[in-house]
Amino acid sequence: YYEAGELPWDVIIDDGSHLNEHQITTATHLLGRRRLAVGGTYIIEDIHSSCKGWIANVPNAAGHMVVDGTSGCMKTRRGAPTIFAQLVAWQTSLAAGNHGALQSLGVNIGHVSIYREAAAIQVIGYLQ
């Protein structure tokens, strides 16, 4: 970001550890800090981490970090919300007519599209 002249990106693709808590934190952090251009798309890859478990993509991690999705897809085995649950909450807010689904972060989103293994969020503006 800083090396790019602090200009917001048109597309951000999260293809990180696939740990649900990391996916939620990364999305809210990057969207809340205006790292995505208005009209841009934030893509979260491997959201099926909400529904399955596997060894996470974390280089040099002490021990094995496990993606701990469950068959219900809404909570991890530890009871924490999954990225799928967060996406559904944002999408539900939009379906109810609230285009400021991320207003607590200062972001207005136009849509949340959920696919089999990925999701796309479009930013339509930022609050002042």
What is the per-residue pLDDT across 32-49, written as a single tens digit (0 to 9) for each?
889 999 999 999 999 999
State the alpha helices, DSSP H only, in 13-69.
20-32
Strand 107-114, strand 9-14: pairing: unpaired
Helix, strand or coil, per DSSP, at residue 81: strand
Q: d(Cα 103, Cα 41) in Å, to the nearest integer?
A: 17
Class of domain 9-126: alpha beta
Mean pLDDT is lowest, of 62-71, 93-102, 117-126, for 93-102
